[in-house]
Amino acid sequence: MSWTNNERKVWEDIEHWIQSFQTYEENDFQNLYGKWVDKAVSAIPESLTEPFFEKLDTWLFHLHSLLQGMQIQEEARERILKSAKAFDDSILSIEDMKKLSIDQLSYIADQHVSRHKVYSLLQGGMTATGQPIFVSSDFLALVLINLRSVQLTAITYGYDVRKPFEMMTALKVFHAASLPNRLRGSGWDNLTNDLEEQHSLYFYEGMEKVMDYRWLEEPFKQLMKVFFISLFNKKASKSSFVSLALGAGINYQFSRKVNQFAEKYYQYRFLLDKRND
């Protein structure tokens, strides 16, 4: 099936975005930090690192299952289908979402993406108060918010994350989107390679390992955020504004980065599938 002019424009935008991975240049601090992480991890025996990342994968799978089992997720699916029916009343299932144009799907996706950015902003603001309950749950809440947003983006573009292949893909999209900017290009390549090598539309046939040491930079950044928030909160009351800007700003930027990557990926798949059909 041929693309419309708008779909060609979206494809060109995606290609330009992908090329930005290749032209991204690290500053001296990022380069030094990346080398330090590589060296530090290589010094740890594989017998210790492998079980650790296996547990991280298990943790991520459990979060996915938790989200899928929640009533709020089922309600979100129904809202997406209801929004789609406003454009085409023949849509009855997630797969039917592909009947819509990419502009209509982008409009629906923007609705939930905007909400999840606000959730991340509010979560960062609550963490900035320094209350132990918010500080201790900050990173978990941030992962849940953005993993859920990735899942809803997949659903919007017609990919049901209850299927094993789409579940694994959504987890890998979240992982790749969470990587530092210098590494997101390799994450994208891994995702597109999975598409080329996949033969089943239901079962996942690739490597089921998701997490690796490169992803740990994001949790470390979040720990540093919490450290500086605690530091500022111990000083004069004016510093609370700095804490608020730090907590809300970092969480918002993380959410923005993840959601942009997820939407580009599922737009890419939507257009690829349409062209192949």
pLDDT value of position 217: 78
- Is 175 within a domain? yes
- Is 17 within a domain? no
- Is 99 within a domain? yes
- Is 19 within a domain? no
Low-confidence stretches of the chain (pLDDT < 50) are none
pLDDT value of position 52: 79
DSSP string computed for 106-153: HHHHHHHHHHHHHHHHHHHHHHTTT-HHHHHHHHHHHHHHHHHHHHHH
Residue 245 CB neighbour total at 10 angstroms: 14
Residue 164 CB neighbour total at 10 angstroms: 14
pLDDT value of position 191: 92
Reported as a single tens digit per residue, the pLDDT across 184-228 is 888 999 999 888 876 666 667 666 678 877 787 788 888 888 888
pLDDT value of position 211: 80
Q: Which domain holds residue 235?
A: 45-276
pLDDT value of position 270: 95
Reported as a single tens digit per residue, the pLDDT across 218-257 is 888 888 888 888 877 776 555 577 788 888 888 999 999 9
Which helix (H) or strand (E) segment holds residue 191: the answer is helix 184-197
Residues 6+ apart with CB under 8 A from 167: 64, 161, 204
Looking at the 3D structure of the chain, how many domains does it have? 1
C-alpha 61/C-alpha 168 separation (Å) is 9
- Is 1 within a domain? no
C-alpha 50/C-alpha 53 separation (Å) is 5
Q: What pTM does this model have?
A: 0.89
**How many helices (H) and strands (E) would you count in the chain?**
10, 0
- Is 265 within a domain? yes
The token pair at 38 is: 């590589």
- Is 15 within a domain? no
The token pair at 134 is: 């918010």
pLDDT value of position 206: 63
- Is 113 within a domain? yes
Contact 191, 183 (CB under 8 A): no
